[in-house]
Amino acid sequence: MTTSADPDNAVISYSNVAAISAGIALVAAGAVYSNYRAIVNNLSSLLVDKSTEMTNNIDWNNMTVPAVEQGYSQARVSCQLGSRQLAAIGKCEHDDRQFQTFYEGFMIGKDIAKTIGDGRCLGYRQNRESPYEWLSYDETEQGANEIGSGLIHIGDKFGQKTFIGIYAVNSVEWMMTAVACHFQSMIYVPLYDTLGEAAIIHIINQTRLSTIFIDKPDNVLNLLKLKSKIESLKRLVITRTMPADKESEIRKRATEANLELLMFNDLRNSGRDHPSPHHPPKPDDVFEICYTSGTTGLPKGAMLTNKNIVGLVEAAAEFFRPIFTQQETVISYLPLAHSYEQSIELFCLCYGHKIGYYLGDVRQLADDLQALKPTLMPCVPRLLNRMYDNIQTTIGHLGVLKRSLFRCAYSSKTAEVQNHRVNRHLLWDKVVFKQIQQRLGGNMKLIVSGAAPLSPKILEFLKIVCGAYVVEGYGQTECCGISSCQVPGDSSVGNIGVPLLCNMIKLCDVPDMEYYAKDNIGELCIKGSNVFAGYYNDEEKTREVIDNDGWLHTGDIATWIKTGQIQIVDRKKHMFKLAQGEYLAPERLENVYVQSKYVAQVYVHGNSYKSFTVAIVVPDSEVLLKYARSENMPTDLVELCKRKDIKELIFNDMRNLEKINELKGFEKVKDIYLHPELFSIENNLLTPTLKSKRPELAKYFDNQIEEMYKTID
């Protein structure tokens, strides 16, 4: 798909445009013809830029097939894989070269970038007023050479016994350090702010980190305070310029803690003066220990190997090849400490694409998008939910004429999406949806949502208005962050697509919950080249998730839908039994209730001592405050959450959704409590990947839950 309509490829004339305009005028004027929408849709098809369409040889009715050729008839693979073996070796589509490690992949990606693009690699901005500046692949390689050589010169050894910490936000320095570790077969260990003090101490001690790359002065000071509990730590490499008011304090405390401080550029200079040859890794060598955020207990360190990442990036390359027709650009803003974002960026580096880093404030991401104009954007539901809400608010303020035009455009594009086509329309996309698409930079080809479920209603809407392929994926740290994805062009919603070409998926029985694979429901299990090597120094936890045949047990309950995609029902660990013996999947209920326009977040609670459930509801502040203004109520959210009439308004809307979704009596919540503050990473109610911390939520709202149960009893 090209990034803009080319008049030479669009077969239109001024008479066509006039006909379209006349048709739209009739619609806007409220023409009485009952089939006006069909007339306009037929006319508008003349304005489709055919050059932007992607063709896919997909059987949309049978998107997966039994994995017979892989020796597992009870498992399924993508129909695109067919009888081939699972992807495990990277292939350059421009020549016959192959790669089995990221090191080899990067060297090939460097050549591809020069063949299909401008050779640029990593991009950054100095400030909001400046454009993106770029390092080429050659400059990125040189920087990684210097960092790796500098580390060896100051005492770190090359090879698998050396662990390097990276405690920084997404940046050129982050990725250059990671590439340096790949060049020297070192293992890097990402750290991030929301881990908490206990988890950071645990990770540093377990991996015996001696060197950590770090950017924020406050994090430097926090580590210095913990020095007595992390004896292995010898030095910090500061990747950003420190403010003058904190530099003296940091240096003083570092001296007291007997900790060496190095500046990033000084380390590079040292490496430049004392060059060391590369020590390339082998396919089974670990390149990273990625600690899972987890909802309970200390994080576990997933060992990801070169074989894991190469299998995944090759699968992704083939999966998205019809879309990625040139040197593409990805916007980097999701935490690089997590495998989902990291796998996407490593994929880009193996296939010659460009990575542009945001300035660090996700609230101003639209500004970065417009400056970068990316073609690929990994996303999470929270961001897409906010985008949807903003669009709906804008639509609500449109006049009659513009709303009519929007509905007409939406209908026309809906028909295209349902026919598995995404294209740029010279009227709908260049006029009606232009503002939406410009907010994404104007060149977007693919948006991939992951980390948590996305509302089917929102996904369907975005597939139509974004002028790009919008797909939902699924994965875990233990499989490099991605194991299934919707095929570009799939018009369906409410599923996580099909297995990637590097893994197969099967359902396993969960007898104590009466879920059986023969009934097409069970625990989702994954096997393939992207499945991790195990948890670092924790064989017991490894055996809990990987069985004797090498299947990763995800803990998610799933089912295959009739067209071959897989659908998540709930988390196995989150199922609970009510007093009458009925099992409930709370996340399934939450996905129903969050469809209410008044609900931003919801937590459904139940236990085996009660015969019913209750819920904590965080109202959508924009919607609720708008309602309050229309009813001449106070516009203080805290006060609104205390009002009985507001509670009844929201509860009634939730009850309506219960009817629409045909919830059984025991599934319906019997009471709700309105809470004005969003669940977040900062208040420890969400994991860094935006999943609900159910034990923490239960503890946090213990008094409110107990009061609701007392009131109902």
Task: Determine the average pLDDT of the residues in 259-278.
Answer: 96
Q: Which tops the pLDDT comparison, 18 or 508?
A: 508
pLDDT at position 192: 87
At residue 271's C-alpha, the angle toward residues 270 and 277, to 5°, is 155
User: Degrees (nearest 5) of the Cα angle 365, 370, 375?
Assistant: 95
Neighbours of 328 (CB within 10 A): 23
Contact 285, 160 (CB under 8 A): yes
Yes or no: say if 248 and 223 are a contact pair by the CB < 8 Å rule. no
Q: In residues, how long is the chain?
A: 713
pLDDT score at 506: 96
Give the Å distances, CA to CA, from 102 to 49, 362, 488: 38, 29, 26
State the average pLDDT over residues 372-399. Answer: 86
Instruction: State the pLDDT at residue 301.
Output: 95
pLDDT band at 664 (very low <50, low <70, confident <90, very high): confident
In one-letter notation, the amino acid at residue 218 is D
Collapsed DSSP state (helix, strand, coil) of residue 499: strand
- Please state whether beta strands 260-263 and 235-238 pair in parallel, antiparallel, or not at all (unpaired): parallel
What's the pLDDT at 581?
60
Neighbours of 683 (CB within 10 A): 12
pLDDT higher than 90, residue 671: yes
Residue 540 reports pLDDT greater than 80: yes
Give the whole-angstrom CA distance, residue 712 versus residue 37.
51
Burial of 489 (0-12, 13-18, 19+ CB in 10 A): buried
508 close to 522: Cβ distance less than 8 angstroms: yes
Higher pLDDT, residue 372 or 295: 372
Q: Is 50 exceeded by the pLDDT of residue 12?
A: no
Q: What average pLDDT score do residues 239-244 get? A: 89
On the question of pLDDT at 666 being above 50, the answer is yes
- The span from the CA of 508 to the CA of 513, in Å, is 12
Query: Where is mean pLDDT largest: 14-18, 35-39, 608-612?
Result: 608-612
CB count in 10 Å sphere of residue 149: 25
Q: What is the mean pLDDT of residues 460-475?
A: 90
* Residue 260, phi then psi, degrees to nearest 5: -80, 135
> Has residue 110 got a pLDDT over 50?
yes
663 or 263: which carries more pLDDT confidence? 263
> Looking at residue 430, what is its pLDDT?
81
Residue 677 CB neighbours (<10 A): 13
pLDDT band of residue 545 (cuts 50, 70, 90) is very high
Query: What's the Rg (C-alpha) of the chain?
Result: 26
Q: How far apart are CA 284 and CA 520, in angstroms?
A: 35
Instruction: Produce one character per residue of 40-55: b if its CB has 16 or more CB atoms within 10 Å, e if not.
Output: bbebbebbbbeebbbe
**16 has pLDDT over 70:** no
Q: How many CA atoms lie within 13 A of 54 on its CB side?
A: 24
Q: Which tens digits make up the pLDDT trace of 391-401?
A: 888 888 888 88
Q: Are 317 and 107 in contact (CB under 8 A)?
A: no
The token pair at 399 is 């006049």
When pLDDT is cut at 50, 70 and 90, the band that residue 428 belongs to is confident
pLDDT for residue 59: 84
Which comes out higher in pLDDT, residue 353 or 37? 353
Mean pLDDT computed over 482-486: 95
Decide: residue 594, CB within 10 A, 0-12 exposed, 13-18 middle, 19+ buried: buried
From CA 493, how far away is CA 428, in angstroms rounded?
Answer: 23
Mean pLDDT, residues 466-489: 92
Q: What is the pLDDT of residues 333-370, one digit of tens each?
A: 998 998 999 999 999 999 999 999 999 888 899 999 99
Cα torsion for 107, 110, 111, 115, to the nearest 10°? 160
Amino acid identity at 675: H
For residue 161, report the phi and psi dihedrals to the nearest 5 degrees: -95, 0
Higher pLDDT, 374 or 247: 374
- What is the set of domains in the chain, with CATH numbers? 102-345 (3.40.50.12780), 380-571 (3.40.50.12780), 576-712 (3.30.300.30)
How far is 178 from 632, CA to CA, in rounded Å? 56
Looking at residue 331, its amino acid is I
Distance CA 566, CA 486 (A): 9
Rounded CA-CA distance 496/475 in Å is 9
User: And the tokens for 291?
Assistant: 């600690």
pLDDT at 11: 27
- Residue-by-residue DSSP string for 34-94: TTHHHHHHHHHGGGEEGGG-------TT--EEEETTTTEEEEEEETTTTTSPPP-SEE-TT
Percent of the chain with pLDDT over 70: 89
Q: What is the pLDDT of residue 296?
A: 54
224 burial (CB, 10 Å; 0-12 / 13-18 / 19+) is: buried
Please name the amino acid found at residue 442.
G
Q: What is the pLDDT of residue 382?
A: 76
Q: Which of 80-94, 252-266, 376-390 is predicted most confidently?
A: 252-266
pLDDT value at position 203?
95
Predicted pLDDT at 19? 35
Residue 300 exposure: Cα atoms within 13 Å on the Cβ side: 22
pLDDT at residue number 668: 93
Q: What is the rounded CA–CA span in Å between residue 221 and residue 554?
A: 37
For the record, the structure tokens of 310 come out as 């190469």
- What would the pLDDT profile of 631-660 be if each residue is shown by its tens digit? 999 889 999 999 999 999 999 999 999 999
Q: pLDDT (tens digit, 9 = 90+) per residue, 288-302? A: 999 986 555 688 999
577 three-state secondary structure = strand
Q: What is the mean pLDDT of the chain?
A: 86
Helix (H, G, I), strand (E, B) or coil at 382: helix
Task: Answer yes or no: is pLDDT of 542 > 90.
Answer: yes
Per-residue pLDDT, 121: 98
Choice among 76-85, 465-474, 556-565, 572-581 with the minimum mean pLDDT: 572-581
Confidence of residue 248 (pLDDT cuts 50, 70, 90): confident
**What is the model's pTM?**
0.79
- pLDDT given at position 13: 30
